[in-house]
Chain A
Amino acid sequence: MSDHPLIRLAGVDRIYTRGNEELHVLNGLDLDIQKGEFVALMGPSGCGKSTILNLMGAIDRPNAGQVLFDGEDLSEMNEAERASWRARNVGFIFQAYNLMPVLTAVQNVLLPLQLTPLPRAKRRAQAELALQIVGLSERMNHYPNQLSGGQEQRVAIARAIATDPRVLLADEPTGDLDAKSAAAILDLLQELNRQNGQTIVMVTHDPKAAERAHRVIQLDKGRVVGGHAA
């Protein structure tokens, strides 16, 4: 692992406003993620875990501080630049899978590939390879409502890795799954990290899931309150 952080959050504040009330979710947070790391973010609800993921993925902006990705300040990009940056660098995995119900598995995986300069045939091959990696080659023409929860999450992972992103951001990826499916998804994430050196940042409430990571970061009230190697 390199000493140079892939992602650095430096003195980050994030404040949400609801009506007249200000909600301080992150308070001067400092956090580094190294390239090739598998990091689990844990903590009670509302501690800012998902907010950190949103900031790392450039779908939210800090009120103060910097979010640096390989030295580049994400806060300084406009919306179109951030969209383009996300397409190139980040794969998202959501708790609720967030697949397009009107598209088949392979069509869902093809969506982010449409944003790459790859030719059509290559995109198709890449999507099929991603589905093969997650073990769903046989179900690539199924719609999400024809798949189990675990299979849907596998498709979501295939979509996230199809463009070969530099970091995978997973928000409670096993939160909606039964124990067996959850274990299989965690096996898959672990394998991606081990075999491909894929950097993964995962938010979880589940200590068993966190055990799969290299490092567990404990958060509370918008601050890092502890961390250890898993």
Chain B
Amino acid sequence: MNIPWRLVLAHTKRRWLRSTLTIVSVFMTILIFGILRSFIVGIETSVAEASSTRLVSASALSLFAHLPKRLEGEIAQLPGVEAVTHWTWFGGVYIDSSPDHLWGRFGVDVPSMRKVYGPDLILDDEVWKRFEENRTSCIIGADLAKDEKLKLGDRVKIVGNLFPGTVDVEIVGIYQSKVRSFDQKTMFMHWDYMNELSKSAGGRQDIVSTFTMLLKDPGQAGGLAKSIDTNYASSSNRTLTQTEKMFQAQFASMWGNLPLFFSILGGIVIVACLMVTANTMMLNARERVQEVGILKTLGFTPGSVSTMALVEGLLLCLVGGALAMAVVRSFDGKMMMFTILTVPWRTIAEGLAIAAGLGLLSGFIPALLTHKLTILDAIRRRA
């Protein structure tokens, strides 16, 4: 099939403003799709990559309720438990309350954390040792260091809100994660230190957010979880124990059916963009009725002339889509709403496929009209 490519490119160049606006509208659409999709994939990935050899116990009331620290000893005694550690969400304000400075900050027990989570992190023995020995030290994730421009030896001050007092800790290590479920935008400090601060300021004390158990045998996870929850079923500290994978899924479900909402939102944006690009292509086709007649007169077949209309829409949409997906790809690994944006090649392919679909659909009716247009009608400029 003979397509006058030079003419296609010349049209795009000649109507540069229209072409640019079309590209920008597709760019925005695919960008929105890409970001929403990356968020959904991020949630799915964190659930999929979470460990099934660890159990997480939290309050059965809510993720925001606490459990007494003393349960740690009791849980550690249970058969099948290799090690127990605990995390406590400190909250607080770093610099200001803007979302830019809102990242995870937890009080932990360093030796047990190393035992339970150490294999997931890239951190030298020397750093673990320094962290363990210095009660007012902390380690931070590599992404957090980059985003907040923090380096080793810097001090981080966080004004408490859930717990009173201001923590003032020195960065002794910057970790990288081996798995996506362990994000790199979190700070870990000594639970003892934050607990003591809270205690001296008259705040809450001896409480933790979650316990994490490393299991001797993952096959025992179900029985052990049931056993822990049964133990505390009739106490004021009812627990909900599940594998880390299920815990991540529960965390993700806090967003409600956000993936569905995002999918609907993305769909609406794509349809709106289709209307815009289709309108542009129709306008182009109307302006070029006579040119279609000339091309057909010169000997271009109806198929090649109508393909020209399709190709033009396809080119513009693919350029917009490719630019958008390049930007989306650069978001890979970034945090958004406590979720690591994940941009696999599948998402890139989906974005490009949608852009191509937009191009083909928007060019379909103009192509059909072009195909049917007789030379005589075209030359007389009757569309």
Q: What's the nearest-Cβ distance from chain A to residue B293, in Å?
A: 8
Q: What's the nearest-Cβ distance from chain A to residue B99, in Å?
A: 48
Contacts of B375 in A (CB 8 A): 54, 59-60
Main DSSP-derived SS at the B contact region:
helix
Instruction: Determine whether the beta carbon of B299 is less than 8 Å from that of A107.
Output: no
Instruction: Determine whether the beta carbon of B10 is less than 8 Å from that of A103.
Output: yes
Q: Are A115 and B300 also in contact (CB < 8 A) when A54-B376, A59-B376, A60-B376 are?
A: yes
- A115's partner among B2, B290, B291, B294 (CB-CB below 8 A) is B2
Q: What's the nearest-Cβ distance from chain A to residue B294, in Å?
A: 5
| Closest residue on chain B to residue A103 by CB atoms | B10
Q: How far is the CA of A103 from the CA of B294 in the complex (A)?
A: 13
B6: CB under 8 A from chain A? Answer: yes
The size bracket of the interface on A is 20 to 34
B52: CB under 8 A from chain A? Answer: no
Q: How far is the CA of A101 from the CA of B376 in the complex (A)?
A: 20
Instruction: Determine whether the beta carbon of A88 is less than 8 Å from that of B11.
Output: no
Instruction: Determine whether the beta carbon of A112 is less than 8 Å from that of B298.
Output: yes
Q: What's the nearest-Cβ distance from chain B to residue A50, in Å?
A: 10
B303: CB under 8 A from chain A? Answer: yes
Instruction: Determine whether the beta carbon of A79 is less than 8 Å from that of B10.
Output: no
Number of A-B contacts (CB under 8 A): 66
Instruction: Determine whether the beta carbon of A100 is less than 8 Å from that of B291.
Output: yes
Contacts of B346 in A (CB 8 A): none
A141: CB under 8 A from chain B? Answer: no
Q: How far is the CA of A82 from the CA of B290 in the complex (A)?
A: 19
Q: Are A79 and B4 also in contact (CB < 8 A) when A102-B10, A102-B14 are?
A: no
- A111's partner among B11, B293, B298, B302 (CB-CB below 8 A) is B298
Q: How far is the CA of A88 from the CA of B299 in the complex (A)?
A: 8
A114: CB under 8 A from chain B? Answer: yes
**Hey, what's the 0/1 contact readout for B288-320 against A, CB within 8 Å counting as 1?**
001101111111111100000000000000000
A83: CB under 8 A from chain B? Answer: yes
Q: What's the nearest-Cβ distance from chain B to residue A168, in Å?
A: 13
Instruction: Determine whether the beta carbon of A87 is less than 8 Å from that of B302.
Output: no
Q: What's the nearest-Cβ distance from chain B to residue A85, in Å?
A: 8
**Hey, what's the 0/1 contact readout for B40-55 against A, CB within 8 Å counting as 1?**
0000000000000000
A146: CB under 8 A from chain B? Answer: no
A92: CB under 8 A from chain B? Answer: yes
Contacts of A103 in B (CB 8 A): 6-7, 10
Q: Are A83 and B301 also in contact (CB < 8 A) when A59-B375, A59-B376, A100-B294 are?
A: yes
Q: What's the nearest-Cβ distance from chain B to residue A49, in Å?
A: 14
Instruction: Determine whether the beta carbon of A86 is less than 8 Å from that of B11.
Output: no
Q: What's the nearest-Cβ distance from chain B to residue A173, in Å?
A: 15
Q: What's the nearest-Cβ distance from chain B to residue A147, in Å?
A: 16
Q: Are A83 and B10 also in contact (CB < 8 A) when A98-B290, A98-B294 are?
A: no
Contacts of A54 in B (CB 8 A): 375-376
Q: What's the nearest-Cβ distance from chain A to residue B370, in Å?
A: 13
Q: What's the nearest-Cβ distance from chain B to residue A11, in Å?
A: 22
| Closest residue on chain B to residue A59 by CB atoms | B375
Q: What's the nearest-Cβ distance from chain A to residue B369, in Å?
A: 15
A57: CB under 8 A from chain B? Answer: yes
Q: What's the nearest-Cβ distance from chain A to residue B98, in Å?
A: 50
| Closest residue on chain B to residue A57 by CB atoms | B297
Q: How far is the CA of A59 from the CA of B300 in the complex (A)?
A: 12
Query: Could you tell me which residues of chain A, from 194 to 228, have a CB within 8 Å of some CB in chain B?
Result: none
Instruction: Determine whether the beta carbon of B300 is less than 8 Å from that of A83.
Output: yes
| Closest residue on chain A to residue B305 by CB atoms | A83
Q: Are A87 and B298 also in contact (CB < 8 A) when A54-B376, A59-B375 are?
A: yes
Q: How far is the CA of A83 from the CA of B294 in the complex (A)?
A: 11
Instruction: Determine whether the beta carbon of A83 is less than 8 Å from that of B6.
Output: no
Q: What's the nearest-Cβ distance from chain B to residue A68, in Å?
A: 20
A80: CB under 8 A from chain B? Answer: yes
- Which 9 pairs between the two chains have the least Cβ-Cβ distance? A87-B299, A102-B10, A59-B375, A83-B301, A86-B299, A102-B14, A112-B298, A80-B301, A98-B294
Known contacts A88-B299, A110-B6; 12 additional CB pairs below 8 A are A80-B302, A83-B299, A84-B301, A86-B297, A87-B299, A94-B379, A102-B7, A103-B7, A111-B4, A112-B298, A115-B2, A159-B298
Q: List 16 A-B contacts (CB under 8 A).
A: A54-B376, A60-B376, A83-B296, A83-B302, A86-B297, A88-B299, A92-B298, A100-B7, A100-B10, A100-B291, A100-B294, A102-B14, A103-B7, A111-B4, A112-B298, A159-B298
